[in-house]
Amino acid sequence: MAENTGFILIPLVLVSVFFGIYSAGSDHFAALFTDYELDLNLWQVFCLSVLGFFIAFNYWNYAVEKLIYKNNHVLDNEFRKDSRIPKATYSFLDLDAERMSGVISFVLLNILLVFFIITYNYGQFYEAVKTPVQLSEETHERVNAVIMSIIMAILVIMFYFKSGFNFDPKAGLLKILAKIWIFLNAILVVSAALKNYEYIVNYAFTYKRLGVFAFLLLSLIGLALTFIKIQKQKKNIFLVNTMIWYFYGTVLMCSYFNWGGFITSQNMKRKDFAVNYHLTSINFSEKALLKYADEKNDQKLKRTLQAKVKNEMSKTFLSKIIYYQTIK
């Protein structure tokens, strides 16, 4: 009975979850099978989540201090010696059955992901040109599906490689299949990046479209760290500890760059350049817009920009923004 659970139930649950994610990201993939609809009462989910957080907060508000001291070792990236002995995760499932469950799961998930990548890229590169609304909806759906797929992929790998299988001498095939799955997910991320780039080529740069690249970059980093976790036999907390630093570093590096100026300077090269949008909705774009006004001899735009810069420069010292002090 336990082996049947490991060989059938766990792979079936994993395949069902990823089938839902991939179906949401590609109409062609969904068309290969019968329609799939996830019926959830979001209000109930929200209420239960709020209640759960309330109970958890009130409990941990009293217990967290002792738990931190007692379980400080949980935050270590490396396994302790007494945790390196391969053993089954659950009492009803022995180690061999759990290992075979993982092999079956990853084989099925790899096959499912290959089909999704094929249909995903077919819809992207071989279908007729979409309208702006269709392209926008497709891009959002596919990027969301990819990010969700990456998150679930990392969680599944964390489930199987949380302890024993990291040091199981018989888990070689399981590790190879997991690494193949990581590689296929990386291909999926690249495909999503190309889709987002197509969107930008057709309809210009925006903050959100650049933000998609940032999320996809972090997804690739997460996959790379997951590969390192398997290869170097790290604990699951290694992914959390390291990704926090990468996320912080990404935010820190992005803060040094004037994205508003970059967006405006790039979009200025387009024939459909929307001046009012960049004037009102893009921050710190005045330098590029002044250059544009001079090139187009648009005196009205130039006067508007000069008035805005003058107003910013006349503010008190603590309210001034350094960017406007550099505009001549």
Give the model confidence (pLDDT) of 219-240 as tens digits: 899 899 989 888 888 888 888 8
Structural tokens at position 202:
């057709």
Note the pTM of the prediction, 2 decimals.
0.72
Q: In this predicted structure, what is the pLDDT of residue 90?
A: 60
Burial of 214 (0-12, 13-18, 19+ CB in 10 A): middle
Give the pLDDT confidence score for residue 62 in this predicted structure: 62
Q: What integer is the mean pLDDT of 147-167?
A: 77
The pLDDT-based confidence of 36 (bands split at 50, 70, 90) is very low
Mean pLDDT of the chain: 80
| pLDDT number for residue 17 | 79
Instruction: State residue 237's pLDDT score.
Output: 83
Q: What percent of the chain has pLDDT over 70?
A: 77
Residue 274 has pLDDT above 50, yes or no: yes
Encode burial over 274-283: b for 16+ CB neighbours within 10 A, e otherwise: ebeebbeebe
- Report the pLDDT value the prediction gives residue 247, as an integer from 0 to 100: 92
Question: What is the pLDDT, as a whole number, of residue 262?
Answer: 92
pLDDT band with cut points at 50, 70 and 90 for residue 18: confident
pLDDT(73) > 70? no
Of 84, 186, 54, 197, which is closest to residue 135 (Cα–Cα)? 197
- Which residues in 139-167 are b (16+ Cβ under 10 Å) and which e? beebbbbbbbbbebbbebbbebbebbbbe
